[in-house]
Structure 1
């Protein structure tokens, strides 16, 4: 009996050791060009084949938790677009690194640790999806004609194969997260995961819920919130608001009268020089591209692309959104990529640092990505895919999963003009659940960080004060705070 504590300790050591080594060592990332120092946790990256016949392969980068990877949640992160690489989240939002202050294009950019990485409390997988986005690719270019449902099926196949590669993480709580057009990606993927569980597919994915930031959800709520939000934020006058409201009868998108459309166009014209993704942030203008967006947009004029932003740390002039640019062709659901509208990847942006770093062949070799000669240059938002939005409103998905008991956090930066929080709050209320935590402030560092309301069925709505479209970018400290509290089940 005297030896039993030693045996227990030995068993624990062996368990921890198995967690450290069970992952595929040929996917291990031991160092990164541009970064000096030790990683706070283990990193892995590489390809998972989701279609053998077409050699369709999705690229991922996983950062194991810096706390306790054996038990901490595993979280999938998806950027939006559609067509945006999740490396954007990796290097500019909640990933383990930022570019160093003062990094300038020319040499290889330098990386520094991000003190507010979500890997502080969870393992996090950054996935380039669908094929054709970021480092993901297919040998059959017809795969680049895709849409919501194929993207969801492929991402589900990826997860099943990924958890086969990392069996020691199969029992960990699993969540899906993302922002913007990931408001479509996440519920449709969750649906595939839930159906797979009901069919007893192996490995079993231990899905516990999802969280979505400033997400596309329902055209009626998303689109109709634009004009009232602009008025509420003091961007248009009360006279103008009353004028457009009277002409449009409260409907600011879709098939509207010519008089209504003219009034909406005037609102858009007045706001075109704002940063649509954070009305508090500066906008770096490229007038010729702004004009191209204005002329070529296939959406109702009120939702054509308006503006861009600058990150406060590190420096870059870029679009905050990787976003759902609200540019659906209402007639058939096809979403034109940015180069079709502007002749370049994204308007009003300069993501030179990320492009230089991810196009460096030494970086690609280390992260096990294919060279440019095979899959092309990395793009923040690609023109390679031909994407159709076919899933419709996400309200039915949210109603389904909350009724089943999955945990759901819907959060909004409250200064985002692209997907205004007012529309998001309205659709959350429309689900009809009882309020269990009445509207109140939440705090970080002794200051009000935003507001929240809790509902039956594990549904929470949260705003982040002063933030734009991409919350982990604009409010990294507050972002890690609510993320940590929500994952752990604490009251935010």
Structure 2
């Protein structure tokens, strides 16, 4: 037997043993709306984190299409708090997207996402905490939760999940996500299990994140220089947490001026239904070159607004609870709907296929839920978490879409620099085009001591893999491989 044939037989044997070790009752054999072969094996189901009250977290696992036995295992978490990770699954870096032309009415059709992250890693999409997405508890008061409780429950989930899938215990393990997931990904109970983490447009520190709002609005031409100088003089350069009435009045004026913008991508219109967007563009006097800003090379629908990824929720806290409000002036909730995802995930055949509970038991799927009674019981993530973990040797990648007004990249860059690490790779456009045929100036990078890297992605909004999926797969693949940018 020649060497190539022998290696193929060994690889096949490994894949068979891998499949045999996984819980077959969690195997996803097919999905309504998708009529092709899966790119790799998929599993989904529940892991109970509290038997007494049947608190169970839902996961969806995609095995790597390359080498599942040795490729990294990566958990993906959407933010909120209160956003289902199925958002990332169907709109960002998951295995599928809705076919172009899918409209509410019948069951939406799915197609393979050409920029899925399972090309280079095993991926777990986790709905967390209970009460979000398909995760639930039969004791509804358990929807009272907090930053630390989410991290503790997710830690329990992972310990039990690795008991179900012991074959992955030796794989490199990473945490990933975006927005408010930047808080609970960074917490120590989760980090004990991982080699590192990567977070997009992360919630980190209210002072850095919020104080960058007004300067970013001015720097991108959203407010005039006169307005900026006026508010800066009134606020003495601090635009968040002030008790000065005049300063607050000036900041509120800026927010009012921007109330009709898409908070999560300033290049995109804020709308509720695609028909409205079509009308806006049809009657727009903008040149075609401007209207196409932020687009990417793919034939899959991109939502032009994102509701509920609400790091700014903290700005409107009342008695420590999450109000029914997000964004600037509350308008960003109306930037989009998630009709296709809701129709698909509320279909009982789809739920049966992915081993999720029925609507009659746990309710309708919601992209963003307001039923959490949420307490924010952590402070800044900088010194106690990011600095601590990077000092201990964890690998960390922080990346930002540079057209996000929710968590503007200057604030992220400022808190990274505040850690005080030496820059080992100066700010520059990275050369990913050699490998992925990407424009030289699509991604900018700066490297620091202790395996900390910061990227910005040109034209991307709050959810980078949604707006720039090709670029996202490029930097994700390189970082996972431990290669320099």
Give TM-score, length-normalised by structure 2.
0.89
Q: Secondary structure at the match of 1:461?
A: strand
Deviation of the 1:70 alpha carbon: 0.7
Deviates more, 1:274-283 or 1:95-104: 274-283
Q: Secondary structure at the match of 2:97?
A: strand
Unaligned runs of 5+ in 2: 274-293
Would you say the 8 A contact 2:183–2:203 is kept in 1?
Answer: yes
Q: Deviations over 1:365-421 (max 9, x none)?
A: 000000000000000101221111111110120011000000000000001011000
RMSD: 2.6
The 2-side partners of 1:470 and 1:3 are apart by 48
The 2-side partners of 1:345 and 1:435 are apart by 36
Deviation of the 1:354 alpha carbon: 0.4
The 2-side partners of 1:336 and 1:400 are apart by 32
Name the structure 2 match of 1:169. Answer: 168
Change (3 A) 1:123 1:139: same
Q: Deviations over 1:135-194 (max 9, x none)?
A: 000011111000101100000000001111111111010000000001112101xx1034
Equivalence map 1:79-158=2 (5 Å): 79-158=78-157
Q: Secondary structure at the match of 1:76?
A: strand
Would you say the 8 A contact 2:39–2:65 is kept in 1?
Answer: yes
Change (3 A) 1:185 1:337: farther
Equivalence map 1:333-482=2 (5 Å): 333-338=320-325, 346-395=333-382, 396-443=384-431, 444=433, 445-447=437-439, 448-482=441-475
The 2-side partners of 1:16 and 1:357 are apart by 31
Name the structure 2 match of 1:76. Answer: 75
Would you say the 8 A contact 1:85–1:134 is kept in 2?
Answer: yes
Could you list the runs of 4 or more consecutive aligned residues of structure 1 that deviate by over 6 angstroms after TM superposition? 2-10, 309-312, 341-345
The 2-side partners of 1:344 and 1:218 are apart by 23
Name the structure 2 match of 1:295. Answer: none
Would you say the 8 A contact 2:197–2:396 is kept in 1?
Answer: yes
Deviation of the 1:274 alpha carbon: 1.2
Name the structure 1 match of 2:220. Answer: 233
The 1-side partners of 2:466 and 2:180 are apart by 16
Change (3 A) 1:327 1:470: same
Would you say the 8 A contact 1:102–1:314 is kept in 2?
Answer: no
Would you say the 8 A contact 1:48–1:161 is kept in 2?
Answer: yes
Would you say the 8 A contact 1:338–1:383 is kept in 2?
Answer: no
Q: Secondary structure at the match of 1:327?
A: helix
Would you say the 8 A contact 1:336–1:387 is kept in 2?
Answer: no
The 1-side partners of 2:67 and 2:14 are apart by 12
The 1-side partners of 2:200 and 2:95 are apart by 19
The 1-side partners of 2:241 and 2:421 are apart by 29
Unaligned runs of 5+ in 1: 196-204, 287-308
Deviation of the 1:20 alpha carbon: 2.2
Change (3 A) 1:318 1:352: farther
Deviation of the 1:230 alpha carbon: 0.5
Would you say the 8 A contact 1:187–1:397 is kept in 2?
Answer: yes
Q: Secondary structure at the match of 1:417?
A: coil
Q: Secondary structure at the match of 1:176?
A: strand
- 1:192 and 2:179 equivalent? no
Equivalence map 1:194-233=2 (5 Å): 194-195=191-192, 205=193, 207-233=194-220
The 1-side partners of 2:235 and 2:356 are apart by 50
Name the structure 1 match of 2:290. Answer: none
Name the structure 2 match of 1:300. Answer: none
Deviation of the 1:442 alpha carbon: 1.4
Q: Deviations over 1:116-141 (max 9, x none)?
A: 00011001000000000000000111
Would you say the 8 A contact 2:400–2:462 is kept in 1?
Answer: yes
Q: Secondary structure at the match of 2:442?
A: strand
- 1:284 and 2:271 equivalent? yes
Deviates more, 1:105-114 or 1:265-274: 265-274
1:486 maps to which of 472, 479, 484: 479
Q: Secondary structure at the match of 1:15?
A: helix
Change (3 A) 1:269 1:406: same
Name the structure 2 match of 1:38. Answer: 37
The 2-side partners of 1:446 and 1:375 are apart by 43
- What is the number of equivalent residue pairs in this alignment? 457
